[in-house]
Structure 1
Amino acid sequence: MKQHRAVCGTVATLLLGLSACSPIDSSDTRYETDYANHEPLHVFGYPSTGSLQVVQEIVWRLADGKAGDLEKLATSDSTDSETRKTAANWVKSFQKGAQGKVAADFYDEASERQVVVLYFQGTQQVKEVTVRLDGNAGEDGWRVMMNEVSLKEAISPPTWAPKEPGGNGSVSDS
């Protein structure tokens, strides 16, 4: 019996040591922490898992004022300078709104690309973003197009979108 306890103790110590040394998926941990620390996103329409996740992360990076982290969510077809300027414009313009209640209206189907209209309820701002699958983005694949280098362009609300989220059934008229 004494020998059995010694073996079990050794195995338990070994397993604890292995689990303490095993890598923790920092992206999962970061997502869970972000989710717990931010206002939940109110969603309309039919996002895919990937399009929803990237839009949620866009709102979180805006709320936190982290333009550098927002840049990391950009598609590969924007230049570094376009992405940097766009991220700065978006944070400057939408940070306050992203810290409160935000609704996201997902338009069309989300097999490769999706237009999303963000409604920042506290500031009454509306922002259109386009997210798409990006072959250079790795496993998750979804990224946001960031090529609005002028502040005027960045803050211009979409003229076609309803004034309130969910007002058009989340399907474009095109």
Structure 2
Amino acid sequence: MKHFLQRAAGIAAAAALLAAAPLSQAHEYKLGQLEIGHPYARATVPGQPAGGAYFSIENKGSAPDRLVALSSPVAKSTEIHTMAMEGNLMKMREVDGGLEVKPGQKIAMQPGNGYHIMLMGLSKPLKAGEKVPMTLTFEKAGKVDVTVNVEDAAAGAAGKDDMKGHMHH
């Protein structure tokens, strides 16, 4: 009976670890009064010159701050972009002067909606399961290094066709 109970306890512990595993995918970073939540990118296909990265930024402070620059060794350049519908066409534009995060504001970057990060001039395809480094630079809080989890291309709100029919300006 003792062996059975030990084995049952071991199975229960393993099940608890497995149940908690998806929670470990959510990763956050803190920089001063800013919280950066779950940085991730979508997997790309060979020959695809650019990819998208997403995360949330929450300002828990009493003063605004601004995301002014990003960099990653997997891309020649990175840009903060916004997308908006103009008539029947989705238009994507670089955000000039950085992205302001007001006190108490949370900006959630996600596929097919609002803000996102463009990784331009990829050195190689982004593969699901990989982790890539990225440095975020804020006007007041300074720099923070984050790990970007590369997820399946279908991850996020808009699915695999996120970039189809978009016009870049």
Structures share fold, TM-score greater than 0.5: no
TM-score of the aligned structures, taking structure 2 as reference length: 0.34
TM-score of the aligned structures, taking structure 1 as reference length: 0.34
Structure with more relative contact order (C-alpha pairs < 8 Å, separation 6 or more): 2
Bigger Rg over Cα? 1
Bigger proportion of residues as strand? 2
Bigger proportion of residues as helix? 1
